[in-house]
């Protein structure tokens, strides 16, 4: 669906952002793209949607270079940017003007989602608050039914009830054929939505595993034993440590703590990745 | 709502949808612009009548033609400069660039809106305004009035439509190429082009020791229009090239 091969890119010549980046995204998956501020998450999404061109290497959307921005490719993709403005029109007119460009647009779903989000359809879009505008655009994006959906920090600007609404809406409009990429640094907002955890750091993908695999390979626990030596990664907390350890046969399932895992991956990617290279013993 | 086919060749239905989109997203600002210019033209007519001195226009509506033509071209160039504003704003560039249509369709829709539809709207608006001005004057002022709307349209239509066509090509290019203040930057660009062209011709005349003077107005009309048309086409092509290769900042 999206194939990135040996992608090199820099905004400034001496400061490369991506160095030979490779990535393959498949239908039916929800990718969580994580990274520190400035890691290049938005830039990577811009390459996927053809809004930035690789210096060398390529980014293919359904087998064609995304940078060609052909209607057949663009109609299969929708981007929800982090920052955006909407025109001075009412929601229904916006839909009337833009929806025909998306062949699978579901008008009734758009109506349902706007209702769930409490969007006032009689109010001009630019008069809505930032959060309301974001909810409108998310409604439009989901109703567009595109096989590829790119969302950049979708929960930024949403209040707590809205974040919960967002998760609910995402869950109810789940599409088994859709490839969704959610770029964020707010791991906790989205950990129930994603099924693949990808970390971008220093211009390369340093970690890329399904949540299922993470759950099968690692355990996340808190311990008062500060001399523990079996952990792959640990952090001091009040009254002990929280640790990530290799999951051994007989270990119970633990809740995957993606935020903690993210810290571990950024600080010691080799030791975390090593856990996924070992044979699983049953 | 009918979905458009997502083909990768030029599509007329997609072009019409783009034109519909452009008009709907800008109709509010353009209406204000039309009303403001209509008001200015009316003021140019009525203010001298209200002043004690003799009206400069001699109560002939034809006298409004130069003012209308100036506003028609200046207004059209300003409107054209703003047609790609969404590409230059961080908040709208992504949604504009990822709209599933060919760059050629986006340029064509901008040209049709900024040239054809705008010209029709401007001339229709003027054709309505002049009779209104005429009748208000007839009712309020005791004077001999000459009404000459048809002269206005037929005498000056071709040369002004052509002049606008030529300059609009440059402003369409400027609308895509310049990120901010593109109206003013395009004017500067035109001035620089003119200076460079003049310097080049002067240098050529100096080196060739000839008294080279190019007088375009002495060329046959069809040659003048042909050259102007080719220049306009070149600028539209350059605008398309810019749009096709446009990236977000």
Is A96 within the bounds of a domain? yes
* Per-residue pLDDT tens digits for A41-53: 999 999 999 999 9
The answer to whether the pTM exceeds 0.95 is no
Could you tell me if residue A282 is inside a domain? no
Pairing of strands A30-34, A196-201: parallel
Nearest CA in chain B to A46: B248
* CB-nearest partner of B98 from A49, A53, A85: A49
Q: Which domain holds residue A27?
A: 2-202
pLDDT digit string (tens) for B99-140?
A: 999 999 999 999 999 999 999 999 999 989 988 988 888 888
- Please give the tally of structural domains in chain A: 2
Structural domain contains residue A60: yes
With an 8 Å Cβ cutoff, are B8 and A70 in contact? yes
Say if residue A130 is in the same domain as residue A223. no
Stated as kind and residue range, the H or E segment containing A16 is: strand A15-25
Q: Which of A70, A85, A101 shows the shortest C-beta gap to B89?
A: A85
Interchain contact, B98 vs A72, CB within 8 Å: no
B5/chain A closest Cα distance in angstroms: 7
Phi-psi map region of A84: left, alpha, beta (phi>0 left; psi -120 to 50 alpha): beta
Q: Same domain, yes or no, for A82 and A131?
A: yes
Tell me the CB-side half-sphere exposure of residue B218, using CA atoms within 13 A. Answer: 3
Residue in this structure with the two tokens 């993606």, named with its chain if needed: A258
A51/B247 Cβ within 8 A: yes
Contact A99, A111 (CB under 8 A): no
Express each pLDDT in A22-37 by its tens digit: 999 999 999 999 998 8
Looking at the domain assignment, is residue A281 inside a domain?
A: no
Residues A129 and A174 in one domain: yes
Q: What is the pLDDT of residue A146?
A: 95
Does residue A117 sit in the same domain as residue A48? yes
Q: Residue A150 domain-assigned?
A: yes
Q: Are residues A88 and A190 in the same domain?
A: yes
8 Å CB contact between A212 and A206? no
A180, A202, A224 - which closes a domain:
A202
Lowest mean pLDDT, pick from A107-116, B1-10, B120-129: B1-10
Share of chain A above pLDDT 90, in %: 56
Do A175 and A250 sit in the same domain of this protein?
A: no
In a domain, A166, yes or no: yes
**Chain A: closest CA distance from residue B128 (Å):** 28
pLDDT at B152 over 80: no
> How far is B116 from chain A, CA to nearest CA, in Å?
21
Distances (CA, A) of A184 to A16, A88, A222, B38, B94: 21, 28, 26, 51, 18
Same domain, A197 and A218: no
- Mean pLDDT, chain A, whole residue set: 89
Asked if A31 and A78 count as a contact pair (C-beta separation under 8 A), the reply is no
Same domain for A216 and A188, yes or no, is no
- pLDDT value of residue B211: 65
The CA distance from A199 to the nearest CA of chain B, in Å, is 23
Chain B interface, best mutation among A12, A79, A87, by max B CB count within 10 A: A87
Query: B112: which DSSP letter?
Result: I
Give the CATH number of the domain where residue A63 resides: 3.40.50.300
CA distance B129 to B152: 13
Residue A196 lies in a domain: yes
Of the three residues A202, A231, A253, the one that is the final residue of a domain is A202
pLDDT tens track for B56-89: 667 778 888 888 999 999 999 999 999 999 999 8
CA distance B57 to B48: 8
Q: Looking at this predicted complex, what is its ipTM?
A: 0.87
The radius of gyration of chain A's CA atoms, rounded to the nearest angstrom, is: 20
User: B19: which chain A residues are within 8 Å (Cβ-Cβ)?
Assistant: none
Condensed to tens digits (0 to 9), the pLDDT of residues B204-244 reads 877 877 666 666 677 888 888 899 999 999 999 999 999 99
Contact between chains at A83 and B91 (C-beta distance less than 8 A) = yes
**Res. A281: pLDDT tops 60:** no
Substitution target in A10, A40, A61, A69 with the highest count of B β-carbons within 10 Å is: A69
Pick from B1, B7, B25: CB nearest A72: B7
Q: Mean pLDDT, to the nearest integer, of A86-93?
A: 95
Residue A279 covered by a domain:
no
Please judge whether A69 and B97 are an interchain contact, meaning their C-beta atoms are less than 8 angstroms apart: yes
Q: In degrees, to the nearest 5, what angle opens at C-alpha A203 toward C-alphas A202 and A209?
A: 90
C-alpha angle A242-A248-A252 in degrees, rounded to nearest 5: 70
Task: Report pLDDT for A282.
Answer: 43
Whether residue A228 sits in one domain with residue A167: no
Same domain, A183 and A269: no
Residues A57 and A157 both lie in one domain: yes
Query: How close, in Å, is residue A20 to chain B by CA atoms?
Result: 21
Q: Which residues of A touch B249 (CB under 8 A)?
A: none
Same domain for A124 and A104: yes
Spatial CB neighbours of A105, under 8 Å, sequence gap ≥ 6: A99, A143, A144, A145, B1, B3
Which of A164, A179, A202 represents a domain boundary (last residue)?
A: A202
Average pLDDT of span B153-165: 79
Question: Which of A67, A71, A108, A145 to substitute to test the interface with B, most B CBs within 10 Å?
Answer: A71
Q: Enumerate chain B positions whose Cβ falls within 8 A of a Cβ in A.
A: 1-8, 11, 14, 17, 20-21, 24-25, 28, 89-95, 97-103, 244-245, 247-248
């Amino acid at each position: 669906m999206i194939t990135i091969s040996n992608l090199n890119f820099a905004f400034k010549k001496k400061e490369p952002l991506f160095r030979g980046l490779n990535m393959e995204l498949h239908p039916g998956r929800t990718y969580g793209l994580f990274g520190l501020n400035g890691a290049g998450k938005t830039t990577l999404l811009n390459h996927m949607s053809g809004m930035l061109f690789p210096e060398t290497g390529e980014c293919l959307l359904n087998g064609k270079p995304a940078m060609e921005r052909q209607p057949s490719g663009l109609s299969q993709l929708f981007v929800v940017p982090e920052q955006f403005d909407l025109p001075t029109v009412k929601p229904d007119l916006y839909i009337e003007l833009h929806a025909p460009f998306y062949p699978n647009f579901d008008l009734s779903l758009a109506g349902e989602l706007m209702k769930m989000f409490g969007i006032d359809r009689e109010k001009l879009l630019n008069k809505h608050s930032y959060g309301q505008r974001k909810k409108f655009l998310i409604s439009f994006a989901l109703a567009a039914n595109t096989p590829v959906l790119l969302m950049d920090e979708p929960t930024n600007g949403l209040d707590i009830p809205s974040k919960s609404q967002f998760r609910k809406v995402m869950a109810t409009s789940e599409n088994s054929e859709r490839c969704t990429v959610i770029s964020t640094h707010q791991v906790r907002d989205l950990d129930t939505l994603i099924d693949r955890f990808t970390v971008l750091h220093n211009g390369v993908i340093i970690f890329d595993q399904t949540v299922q695999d993470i759950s099968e390979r690692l355990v996340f626990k808190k311990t008062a034993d500060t001399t523990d030596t079996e952990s792959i990664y640990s952090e001091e907390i009040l009254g002990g440590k929280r640790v990530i350890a290799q999951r051994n046969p007989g270990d119970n399932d633990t809740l995957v703590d993606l935020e903690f895992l993210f810290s571990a991956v950024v600080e010691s990617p080799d030791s975390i990745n090593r856990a996924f290279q070992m044979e699983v013993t049953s | 709502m009918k979905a458009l086919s997502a083909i990768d060749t030029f599509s007329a239905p997609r072009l019409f949808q783009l034109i519909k989109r452009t008009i709907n997203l800008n109709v509010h600002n353009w209406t204000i612009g039309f009303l403001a210019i209509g008001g200015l033209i009316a003021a140019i007519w009525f203010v001298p009548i209200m002043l004690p001195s003799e009206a400069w226009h001699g109560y002939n509506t034809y006298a409004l033609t130069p003012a209308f033509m100036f506003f028609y071209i200046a207004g059209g160039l300003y409107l054209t400069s703003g047609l790609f504003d969404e590409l230059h704003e961080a908040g709208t560039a992504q949604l504009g660039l990822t709209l599933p249509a060919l760059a050629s369709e986006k340029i064509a829709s901008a040209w049709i809106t900024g040239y054809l539809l705008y010209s029709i709207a401007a001339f229709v608006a003027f054709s309505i305004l002049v009779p209104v001005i005429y009748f208000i004057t007839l009712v309020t002022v005791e004077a001999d009035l000459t009404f000459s709307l048809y002269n206005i349209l037929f005498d000056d239509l071709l040369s002004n439509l052509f002049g606008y066509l030529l300059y609009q090509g440059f402003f369409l290019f400027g609308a895509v190429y310049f990120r901010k203040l593109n109206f003013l930057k395009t004017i500067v660009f035109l001035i620089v082009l003119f200076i460079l062209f003049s310097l080049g011709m002067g240098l050529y005349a100096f080196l060739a020791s000839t008294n080279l003077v190019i007088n375009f107005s002495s060329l046959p009309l069809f040659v003048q229009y042909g050259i102007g048309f080719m220049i306009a086409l070149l600028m539209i092509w350059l605008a398309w090239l810019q749009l096709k290769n446009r990236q977000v900042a």
